Amino acid sequence: MASAFGVKLGSYPRDVLTRNMTMQMRAEMSEIDKNIYQLQRQLQTKKIDQAEYQDEVQSQINKKQKLLEEYGKKLN
C-alpha cells in the first residue's frame, strides 16, 4: 500500500547509502565553493567591499563546517 504513494520500504546496502551521502555532500560543497568564487569576482569588480566579502565568505565557510559535521554524524 505504501509503495502506491511513492514510499520505498526496501532497505539499501550501507555502502550505497554512504556513496549517495558522499555524492550529495560533494555537490553541496561544490555549490559553496562556487558561491565563494562568485564573491571573489564581485570583490574584484567592486560590486562589494572587503568587509562584505569577508562576512559572506565566513558565512560560506561556516556552511561548509556544518555540512562536514552533519556528514560525520550520519556516518557514525
pLDDT in tens, 1-33: 545 565 555 677 888 888 999 999 999 999 999
Name the residue ranges covered by the structural domains of the chain.
12-75
What does each C-alpha distance from 61 to 5, 16, 17, 24 come to in angstroms? Answer: 39, 28, 26, 17
Q: Give residue 17's pLDDT.
A: 86
Q: What is the pTM of this model?
A: 0.77
The reported pLDDT for the residue numbered 30 is 97
